[in-house]
């Protein structure tokens, strides 16, 4: 196969004394679950409903996210989350009166009494969780959707694995292959044009799972390099059940990498920047390519296996 690369809570034992702020989880990479100091998993209950009017009371009028202590209010009783206070220049977004540091303890107590469904209910999670335990559960919910693993663009598509596999095939035109071994030849006519471009070449189906093979040119400091690595389309706890090897060589020399595929929960950039893959310096890659060293011709072989 020859591929020409293209750039491309118990919080309320004493409300008066506990004032820690809990930011609504915007990004899985920056939210520290342990800092929430709440149970990791509430008991799953068969049902539970909260009226829309109560949910609206707990919605910040600025960011529209759920509010967590300390919930602030102005002198007229309008509320907002503490994280949005700097965004409104210390003025109530509803009545424009100056904000102080008045906490709405009644609303905080109301929140502590609520149980809500996981926000990933539409993806299959049927659990009902206490209001203050819900963010931590959602951070690690096994039903939370995955982001598109395609590395050549800022794709915002999310979904379960079958949806993403179809998306990669139909929208990104990614090659799909069955089998646990591969043999790819990567060609670039001008290997000196290394511009931090990314290419995702193939999705492999084996052992009833899907794996994404990445090959990329980027820089480590000022040194241009190539990296090849594998990502697992699933969670990290499943990815650890598999291993893979990559091999590249030429002119009697060979480089071999063996590792564990990283989950697509880890971003492509995070994996790349941790150098968790087969790294080939450009000069070595040209040496492997043979000829006049003016054209990149790398053959990368590899295999995937399941650990016993």
User: CATH 2.60.210.10: which residues of the chain?
Assistant: 146-306
Give the model's pLDDT for residue 6.
Answer: 40
DSSP letters along 78-144, please?
A: -EEEGGGGGGGTTB-TTT-PBP-SEE-HHHHHHHHT-EEE-TTGGGT---EEETTTHHHHHHH-TTS
Give the model's pLDDT for residue 200.
Answer: 61
Cβ distance 277 to 158 under 8 Å? Answer: no
Rounded average pLDDT over 224-230: 92
CA distance 201 to 213: 6
Give the model's pLDDT for residue 192.
Answer: 67
Is cis: bond before 38, omega within 30 of 0? no
Give the model's pLDDT for residue 42.
Answer: 43
User: CATH 3.30.40.10: which residues of the chain?
Assistant: 52-140
- Kindly report, residue by residue over 107-127, the tens digit of the pLDDT: 999 999 988 899 999 889 999
CA distance 263 to 271: 9
Compute the residue count for the chain. Answer: 308
Beta bridge mates, 185: 2, 299
Helix (H, G, I), strand (E, B) or coil at 185: strand
Judged against a pLDDT cut of 90, whether residue 235 lies above it is answered with yes
160, exposed or middle or buried, with CB in 10 Å at 0-12, 13-18, 19+?
A: middle
131, exposed or middle or buried, with CB in 10 Å at 0-12, 13-18, 19+?
A: buried
Percent of the chain with pLDDT over 70: 79
- Kindly report, residue by residue over 181-204, the tens digit of the pLDDT: 998 888 877 766 655 455 666 899
**Residue 118 vs residue 152, higher pLDDT:** 118
Q: What is the enclosing helix (H) or strand (E) of 228?
A: strand 223-232
Give the model's pLDDT for residue 11.
Answer: 34
Hey, what are 13's tokens? 């034992």
Give the model's pLDDT for residue 29.
Answer: 37
Pick the CATH number of 52-140 from 1.10.287.610, 3.30.40.10, 3.40.50.1240, 2.30.30.100: 3.30.40.10
Give the model's pLDDT for residue 23.
Answer: 43
Q: Which fold has domain 146-306?
A: 2.60.210
């Amino acid at each position: 196969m020859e591929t020409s690369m293209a750039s491309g809570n118990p919080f309320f034992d004493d409300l008066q004394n506990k004032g820690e702020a809990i930011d609504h989880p915007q990004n899985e990479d920056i939210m520290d679950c342990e800092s929430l100091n709440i149970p990791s998993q509430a008991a799953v209950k068969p049902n539970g409903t909260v009226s829309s009017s109560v949910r609206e009371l707990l919605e910040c009028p600025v960011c529209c996210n759920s509010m967590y202590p300390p919930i602030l209010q102005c002198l007229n009783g309008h509320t907002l989350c503490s994280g949005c206070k700097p965004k409104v220049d210390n003025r109530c977004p509803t009545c424009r009166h100056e904000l102080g540091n008045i906490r709405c303890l009644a609303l905080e107590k109301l929140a502590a009494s609520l149980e809500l469904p996981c926000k990933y209910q539409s993806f299959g999670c049927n659990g009902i969780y206490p209001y203050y335990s819900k963010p931590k559960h959602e951070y690690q919910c096994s039903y939370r959707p995955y982001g598109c693993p395609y590395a050549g663009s800022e794709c915002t598509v999310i979904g379960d694995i079958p949806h993403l596999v179809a998306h990669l095939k139909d929208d990104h035109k990614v090659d799909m292959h069955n089998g646990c071994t591969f043999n790819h030849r990567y060609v670039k006519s001008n290997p000196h044009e290394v511009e931090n471009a990314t290419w995702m070449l193939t999705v492999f189906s084996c052992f009833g799972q899907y794996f994404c093979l990445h090959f990329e040119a980027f820089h480590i400091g000022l040194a241009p390099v190539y990296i090849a690595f594998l990502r697992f389309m699933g969670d990290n706890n499943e990815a650890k059940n598999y291993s893979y090897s990559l091999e590249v060589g030429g002119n009697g020399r060979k480089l071999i990498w063996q590792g564990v595929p990283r989950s697509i929960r880890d971003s492509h950039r995070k994996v790349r920047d941790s150098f968790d893959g087969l790294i080939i310096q450009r000069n070595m890659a040209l040496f492997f390519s043979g000829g006049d060293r003016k054209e990149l011709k790398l053959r990368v072989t590899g295999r995937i296996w399941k650990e016993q």
